[in-house]
Amino acid sequence: MKNIRITVMRVACYEDLINKYENPIEHACDMKVGQVFTTKGWERPEGFCDSAWDNISPFVMTLSHGGENLYDGWMKNSRSAMISCNDGFRPVSFLLEVID
């Protein structure tokens, strides 16, 4: 089983939507651009957001088990994927890459 490098590529924040729709929350997201996590197979890395993991884990599992060319050539690197968490207020984009 292969390990996967997960890099935080972009963190967005939609203040207008937060102000209009979200109940105040104390601790929303700790992800920072450039932050890197490494999996052991398809195990969730320590400190990785539980909610974001729910979104990206199927892709991590596929890549860690040797899957390639997701969505018929969507990525230039066939052993990678760009996946975002589903937080509509603070979406985070992650680059997943197989580590040889």
Give the model confidence (pLDDT) of 16-72 as tens digits: 999 999 998 877 888 999 999 999 988 999 999 999 999 999 999 999 999 999 989
Query: Cα–chain-centroid distance for residue 85?
Result: 6
pLDDT score, position 28: 82
Q: What is residue 76's three-state secondary structure?
A: coil
pLDDT score, position 49: 93
Sheet holding 3-11, edge to edge: 36-38, 3-11, 92-99, 80-84
CA pair distance 12, 81, nearest whole angstrom: 19
Nearest to 99 by CA among 48, 57, 39, 9: 39
Question: Does the pLDDT at position 73 exceed 90?
Answer: no
